[in-house]
Structure 1
Amino acid sequence: MSVQELEKEQAPKQAAFGLTGWLRWGWRTLTSMRTALILLFLLALGSVPGSLVPQRGVEPDKVARLYEQNPTLAEWYDRFQLFEVFTSTWFAAVYLLLFTSLIGCIIPRTATYLRELRRRPPAAPKNLSRLPHFASFEGDLDVEKAARRLRKLRFRVETGDGWVSAEKGYLRETGNLFFHIALLGILLAIGAGSLYGYRGNVLVVEGDGFANTVAAYDRYIPGNQVSAESLEPFSFQLTDFKVSYQVTGDKKGQALDYSAYLKVNDSPDGPARDFELKVNTPLEVNGTQTYLIGNGYAPVFKVTDGKGQVAFEGAVPCLIEDKATMTSGCVVKAPDAQPEQLGFLLRFLPTSVPLTDGTYASAFPGELNPEVQLIGAFTGDLGLRSGKPQSVYELAPPEVMKKLTPLVMGTNVPKPLAVGQSVDLPKGAGKLEFVGVKQWITLQVAHDPGRVPALVFAGTAVVAIALSLMIRRRRVFVRAREGTVEVGGLTRTEGSAAGFAEEFADIVKVLSAGEKHVR
């Protein structure tokens, strides 16, 4: 046997890590402070797309517009769940990992903190001059007197034979611990809100009403523990909606204020009350908040079919195409028209002005000269009876549009219609009349039982982190030495020695009061 083989055989064999070892390593890594900070950073980073990308639960109209303007980008957003960031699987994974990490951090820190609270200040060192802060004065040390003076300064005091030891700043650890507990409380509050809360979006046109039932929502997202009976039974009617705009200056056309005037019934048999709903003034009924999140125009149209019968009449919410001028795209469907169904693509101009090239555009978002452009009129089967759902902002799916017969399109488009004007369709197919203008608002109704606890825990976290950053852990020692009283001090917080110098000087003055002089 060679020397190398003999050394290899005699070398100690490394123990296998094993499943238990890997689990312990994973748990220690997950519950470390570094991992908790990384997860907290990832949670904050993951929230950024929720602010930059429109969310289905808040701005469904913007999501629909993005699908129309850039369907490829919208599909990629949907694949990564960026339209629903806060309910996505990857956000929930980070949330749960942070939740577990915080629990693993808090339990051992609590045990350490309780041991620290029971521990008495250590005995005074024999040579205080070696401490970062040192002073002495002539006199005899009265241990009890010095202890009383330090207790008045809110120090925890321990005495011995010719020495006094004092410690202060335990609130630093208290703040640190409560900060982590508050973070855990925020996560619990958010989880409770997700389980026992709900939110929904609805579009309401002027003159219409809303009752807080599942069927009334355009989009409804309940928590796992929410049933239809959990909804607060209130209702309201939108009587009026007003928007004020900047009319002069560089910011002409900028919205200044929104006001929706409601008639609210807090319960089915309750009396109606007036309420002015504003962006920062939600309607609240027994813990359920209703927020104003958007608005637009809903022109009123009347469609007469080829047999002279009214096939459609009502307000049509239009999708905003240009926020600056509130130019909006409208779709009108008349499935009851005879002999064939009718469909219209229109553009609403709140303040219509002619351009030099013969086209028309809106010059102001306010309703000063409302007109409607007829972009296209079609006849044929719109596919509404096929059983497949269709968007109200789309006339028909592409495969259905190919089968429709265009009546008005391209060069034969008439001039914009003012209120009260109408256009006759070719071949006696019917007539479209622009009757008037209403406005619509989009609302988010939300019930979140974790909202108040989350606010309390957030406030606790702010106070706790302030205590953790502002309070220093420091110790003061007093010892008698041959007719001289020596005082030493040090801090247990890194980087706070300079701030302790002034406090230490004041402590020496208190201890030396009535003595000869301080050196």
Structure 2
Amino acid sequence: MSVDVQERPGAASPKRKRPVWKRPLAVARKWWGQLTSMRTALILLFALAVGAIPGSILPQRTVNVENVNKYFAENPGLAKFLDHLWMFDVYAAPWFAAVYGLLFISLIGCLVPRLREHFDALRRRPPDAPARLDLMPENASWADDAAEGADVVDRLRTLLRSRRYRTVVREHADGTVTLSAEKGYLRETGNLVFHFALVGLLIGVAFGALFGWHGNRVLGEGPDNAFCNNLQQYDDYGLGPNVSPAELPKFCIELASFKADYLDNGQPIQYSAELLYGEGGGMPDETFHLEVNEPLRLDGNNVYLLGHGYVPIIEFTDQYGNVQTSNTPFLAMNPSMLSEGVAIFPDANITPDGVRDKTKQVAFEGMFMPTAPEEPPYTSSLFPEPNNPAVMLFPYVGDTGLDRGKPGSVYALDRQQVASGALQAEGEGFLLRMGESKAVAGGTVTFKELQQYAVLQTRSDPGEGIVLWSSVALLAGLLPSLLVKRRRVWFRVKGNDVTAGGLPRTENQTFAAEFGELVAKAKES
């Protein structure tokens, strides 16, 4: 015996369980919807901006390794902790790359559907007039007794098109004719251009980071200081993950001369350098006048002038008559070009038999003044130009630590050697003006001459063109997205009776005045 069971009207039907294989797909769709929402894109953009803050506050290895080493020396515990978080390589950190990649995916996933909808809107005809135009935010009605209905429609259509409205005329069975008009599509176009330009910026920056490189060099005057484009000759450098040292272009650069112009208060007006360069590995024989905003372009790479300083040439004659010369750059500490540096002579006091005693090496900590005061204290420079150059030297004798093979700064003494007593101060500091000598540390030290140096940066950024045009597109899209307003206007003509209605699609403070002017023109015509 069979029994038919009928469900009670209004009773809830039993809930069907989703197949197990569809559950991961549903979860994926949910998270994809969250990731590609504009809210998530804004959150990721804010997170990217916050993540970039440490890159602006803390020294970065890709910019200046010396400053990173100095930070480690001053804050060893904190620096080690921050280094675990990639705070000294922020833009190469995995967490920064993750936020960057998620932002890129979010923007693409958010913009592609909007782009499709916008194309559909551009092809779609404006909708027919509502039945009650008098309920629109802006409305008007009048009788046009001066013309027939067809003439009224033609005049209205001509008026709307002259105002760049997309206009559609529809005839109805009862003899009514409606005109639907809309404008302001450029607003969404500009909005999409702006956001796609932002994606272009992300692509350009990422492309430059992956395939770009840079190197900084403190380059002294003269052929003896010329350098060629290889990593060993840069003071610090940064290579993109996809750049091999063997791929670097071949060129050599020499600093022929440097000139700096100053105001009377010491403020710099202009830096300029005369360079000699040779491409393809050739000797530097081509000339170029390098200025701050006029880089030298070599094989797709730019050589920039970042700054300058002085190189006091210091000569030391030891007790056996051996002469050594130091031409180490001194680094500027303030706008007056008061500079500090060292002159190290690791080969001092080698005996005539060639016996080398590391405990008799000589070094000097120095403070250079381009325009030194005539009277003490000699702790400042009166002007950045070398009007009265002098150097304050503090002698040391002992093991300078250079023989250990441990990397160190060429601009400072090894403080561990000083702290351990292996390198000890030898007497008081003294001032030498250019050409003067003084007997010290069993020998004679001479401030022989003065040269200048330029701080050059060689940079290759293959993404800069993408970034440039994306920035132009971003600004071009921003203006219409802010200034253009979307709005619709309808006219219904039946005989000589005309009814008009207007609806702003976005917040628009000027739409009432625009609609009133449009109606006034319609009545006049």
TM-score by length of 2: 0.84
Query: How far off is 1:486 after superposition?
Result: 1.2
The answer to whether the Cα contact below 8 Å between 1:332 and 1:343 also exists between their aligned partners in 2 is: yes
Q: Which moved more, 1:36-45 or 1:182-191?
A: 36-45
**1:258 aligns to 2:271 (yes or no):** yes
Query: How far off is 1:442 after superposition?
Result: 1.7
Match of 1:201 in 2: 216
Match of 2:204 in 1: 189
Q: Quote the Cα distance in structure 2 between the aligned partners of 1:170 and 1:324.
A: 54
Query: How far off is 1:209 after superposition?
Result: 1.9
Match of 2:366 in 1: 346
Match of 1:417 among 432, 435, 440: 432
The answer to whether the Cα contact below 8 Å between 1:203 and 1:442 also exists between their aligned partners in 2 is: yes
Residue type of the partner of 1:361? S
**1:469 aligns to 2:479 (yes or no):** no
Q: Quote the Cα distance in structure 1 between the aligned partners of 2:372 and 2:78.
A: 32
Consecutive unaligned residues of structure 2, counting only runs of 5 or more, are 1-13, 172-176, 351-355
Query: How far off is 1:477 after superposition?
Result: 0.5
The answer to whether the Cα contact below 8 Å between 1:245 and 1:255 also exists between their aligned partners in 2 is: yes
Q: Quote the Cα distance in structure 1 between the aligned partners of 2:284 and 2:414.
A: 43
**1:131 aligns to 2:139 (yes or no):** no
SS in 2 for 1:453: helix
* Residues 19, 397 of structure 1: alpha-carbon distance in 2 compared, 3 angstrom cutoff: farther
SS in 1 for 2:182: strand
The answer to whether the Cα contact below 8 Å between 1:141 and 1:485 also exists between their aligned partners in 2 is: no
Match of 2:239 in 1: 222
Q: Which moved more, 1:17-26 or 1:82-91?
A: 17-26
Match of 2:420 in 1: 402
Q: Quote the Cα distance in structure 1 between the aligned partners of 2:395 and 2:283.
A: 47
**1:120 aligns to 2:132 (yes or no):** no
The answer to whether the Cα contact below 8 Å between 2:330 and 2:411 also exists between their aligned partners in 1 is: yes
**1:393 aligns to 2:411 (yes or no):** yes
Match of 1:505 in 2: 516
**1:378 aligns to 2:397 (yes or no):** yes
Q: Quote the Cα distance in structure 2 between the aligned partners of 1:423 and 1:13.
A: 98
Match of 2:252 in 1: 235
The answer to whether the Cα contact below 8 Å between 2:129 and 2:491 also exists between their aligned partners in 1 is: yes
Q: Quote the Cα distance in structure 2 between the aligned partners of 1:37 and 1:355.
A: 61
Deviations 1:436-482 (A, max 9, x none): 11122222211111101111011101111211111111111110246
Q: Quote the Cα distance in structure 2 between the aligned partners of 1:66 and 1:355.
A: 36
**1:456 aligns to 2:454 (yes or no):** no
CA RMSD of aligned residues (A): 3.0
SS in 2 for 1:121: coil
Q: Quote the Cα distance in structure 2 between the aligned partners of 1:25 and 1:36.
A: 16
SS in 1 for 2:368: strand
Q: Quote the Cα distance in structure 1 between the aligned partners of 2:182 and 2:283.
A: 62
Query: How far off is 1:184 after superposition?
Result: 0.7
Deviations 1:325-363 (A, max 9, x none): 32222222222221433222222222222666x554333
SS in 2 for 1:455: helix
* Residues 67, 295 of structure 1: alpha-carbon distance in 2 compared, 3 angstrom cutoff: farther
SS in 2 for 1:361: coil
The answer to whether the Cα contact below 8 Å between 1:150 and 1:166 also exists between their aligned partners in 2 is: yes
Q: Quote the Cα distance in structure 1 between the aligned partners of 2:97 and 2:375.
A: 52
* Residues 12, 126 of structure 1: alpha-carbon distance in 2 compared, 3 angstrom cutoff: closer
Deviations 1:224-278 (A, max 9, x none): 222334323232211111222332xxxx232222112212334445984332222
Match of 1:244 in 2: 261
SS in 2 for 1:316: coil
Q: Quote the Cα distance in structure 1 between the aligned partners of 2:375 and 2:24.
A: 76
**1:315 aligns to 2:334 (yes or no):** no
What is the 5 A alignment of 1:4-19? none
Residue type of the partner of 1:141? G
SS in 1 for 2:430: coil
Residue type of the partner of 1:129? D
The answer to whether the Cα contact below 8 Å between 1:189 and 1:450 also exists between their aligned partners in 2 is: yes
Deviations 1:15-74 (A, max 9, x none): 999755554333222211112122223333444444444544445555566566666776
Q: Quote the Cα distance in structure 1 between the aligned partners of 2:183 and 2:283.
A: 59
SS in 2 for 1:24: helix
Query: How far off is 1:510 after superposition?
Result: 4.2
The answer to whether the Cα contact below 8 Å between 2:252 and 2:283 also exists between their aligned partners in 1 is: no
* Residues 391, 198 of structure 1: alpha-carbon distance in 2 compared, 3 angstrom cutoff: same
Match of 1:32 in 2: 37
TM-score by length of 1: 0.85
Deviations 1:124-163 (A, max 9, x none): 1122111111123322433455334423332222222211
Residue type of the partner of 1:277? L
**1:213 aligns to 2:230 (yes or no):** yes
Q: Which moved more, 1:505-514 or 1:126-135?
A: 505-514
Q: Quote the Cα distance in structure 2 between the aligned partners of 1:68 and 1:256.
A: 36
Query: How far off is 1:299 after superposition?
Result: 0.9
* Residues 48, 344 of structure 1: alpha-carbon distance in 2 compared, 3 angstrom cutoff: same
* Residues 414, 388 of structure 1: alpha-carbon distance in 2 compared, 3 angstrom cutoff: closer
Q: Quote the Cα distance in structure 2 between the aligned partners of 1:43 and 1:171.
A: 30
Match of 2:149 in 1: 141
* Residues 347, 71 of structure 1: alpha-carbon distance in 2 compared, 3 angstrom cutoff: farther
Residue type of the partner of 1:187? L
Q: Quote the Cα distance in structure 2 between the aligned partners of 1:400 and 1:415.
A: 19
SS in 1 for 2:503: strand
Residue type of the partner of 2:498? V
Question: Identity over aligned residues, as a percent?
Answer: 39
Match of 2:314 among 262, 284, 301: 301
SS in 1 for 2:485: coil
* Residues 65, 442 of structure 1: alpha-carbon distance in 2 compared, 3 angstrom cutoff: farther
Q: Quote the Cα distance in structure 2 between the aligned partners of 1:415 and 1:228.
A: 45
The answer to whether the Cα contact below 8 Å between 2:418 and 2:424 also exists between their aligned partners in 1 is: no
SS in 2 for 1:167: strand
Match of 1:93 among 94, 98, 109: 98
SS in 2 for 1:362: coil
* Residues 65, 434 of structure 1: alpha-carbon distance in 2 compared, 3 angstrom cutoff: farther
**1:154 aligns to 2:172 (yes or no):** no
Q: Quote the Cα distance in structure 1 between the aligned partners of 2:371 and 2:78.
A: 32
Match of 2:335 in 1: 324
SS in 1 for 2:373: strand
The answer to whether the Cα contact below 8 Å between 1:407 and 1:425 also exists between their aligned partners in 2 is: no
Q: Quote the Cα distance in structure 2 between the aligned partners of 1:84 and 1:14.
A: 50
Query: How far off is 1:304 after superposition?
Result: 2.2
The answer to whether the Cα contact below 8 Å between 1:141 and 1:479 also exists between their aligned partners in 2 is: no
Q: Quote the Cα distance in structure 1 between the aligned partners of 2:178 and 2:192.
A: 32
